[in-house]
């Protein structure tokens, strides 16, 4: 994979597919430098430092020395560097946003890892890498940005890229439940339906989040694209910034603190699954 550089999507794979539901130019430089997690650390250091969240994700993904990692929707590219720090031999980012590709390349240059990492400018549904090229494929805060059909194609491509026994790792935030179940219920129960917005999502989420997940929907998506076994679990993020009022925020925190009600308030999900075959 060394020296693959910037390449176009494979035209034969994309010819029969619809254009991306969310156009790539929506993900501009301002989005990656002002909205995405870890932007504060990246801006302060011009890409030489990264939020600790990336090392944490790499650890959860199970990256081990000698692995090759492909990161779908790599954004500014911090995960690529974190994988190398964990012992990966090679890491490759996939991005369809030109702004993200430019920022990720700045990250790799700032960290001096351009000989071991690269970024491909292409569609996640058609990645120009050979089958079996990766030990680990990651989707960190990406799946909620893909329609169900796009997600199925992207996961299918991840399956192709993985060697037998290879691993796919997913993190998604926020869940559909905290908005469509918990918020709607509180809006009625607290009698605030006249003052609370019908949809509490922010502007970026309304435009970009075309497929927020639940634990069961994420498990189905992975199973349906050939991964087995599949493990999906809840994280510990309690997201309350969107709630109008301290009472509602307090209720979300209380729900998250108790095991029976955690699914109603925890805002993130993780998943890990394997491509059948090979050693486990």
Segments making up each domain of the chain, as ranges: 11-172
Q: What pLDDT does 9 receive?
A: 47
Q: How many other CB atoms are there within 10 angstroms of residue 58's CB atom?
A: 29
In terms of phi and psi (left: phi > 0; alpha: psi -120 to 50; beta: otherwise), the region of 244 is beta
Averages of pLDDT over runs of 10 residues in the chain (280 residues) are 39 74 97 95 96 97 98 98 98 98 98 97 96 98 98 98 98 97 90 84 96 98 98 97 90 95 97 87
Taking Cα atoms as reference points, which of 33, 85, 77 lies closest to residue 41? 33
Q: What pLDDT does 85 receive?
A: 98
Residue 84 main-chain phi, psi, to 5 deg: -65, -40
- Domain covering 11-172 in this structure, CATH number: 3.40.50.150
Q: What pLDDT does 219 receive?
A: 98
Q: What pLDDT does 10 receive?
A: 52
Q: What pLDDT does 191 receive?
A: 74
């Amino acid at each position: 994979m060394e020296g693959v550089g910037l390449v176009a999507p494979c035209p034969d794979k994309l010819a029969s597919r619809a254009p991306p539901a969310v156009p790539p130019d929506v993900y501009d430089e301002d989005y990656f430098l002002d909205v995405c997690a870890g932007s504060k650390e990246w801006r302060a250091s011009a890409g030489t430092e990264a939020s600790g969240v990336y090392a944490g994700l790499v650890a959860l993904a199970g990256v081990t020395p000698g692995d090759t990692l492909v990161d779908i929707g790599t954004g500014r590219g911090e995960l690529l560097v974190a994988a190398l720090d964990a012992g990966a031999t090679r890491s490759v980012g996939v991005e369809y946003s030109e702004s993200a590709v430019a920022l990720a390349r700045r990250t790799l240059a700032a960290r001096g890892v351009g000989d071991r990492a690269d970024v491909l400018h292409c569609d996640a549904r058609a990645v120009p890498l050979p089958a079996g090229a990766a030990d680990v494929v990651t989707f960190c805060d990406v799946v909620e940005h893909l329609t169900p059909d796009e997600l199925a194609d992207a996961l299918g491509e991840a399956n192709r890229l993985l060697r037998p026994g290879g691993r796919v790792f997913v993190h998604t935030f926020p869940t559909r439940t905290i908005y469509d179940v918990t918020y709607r219920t509180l809006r009625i129960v607290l009698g605030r339906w006249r003052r609370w917005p019908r949809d509490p999502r922010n502007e970026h989420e309304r435009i970009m989040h075309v497929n927020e997940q639940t634990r069961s929907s994420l498990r189905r998506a992975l199973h349906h694209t050939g991964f087995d076994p599949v493990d999906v679990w809840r994280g510990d993020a309690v997201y309350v910034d969107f709630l109008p009022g301290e009472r509602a925020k307090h209720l979300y925190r209380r729900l998250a603190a108790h095991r029976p009600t955690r699914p109603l308030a925890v805002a993130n999900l993780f998943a890990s699954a394997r491509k059948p075959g090979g050693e486990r």
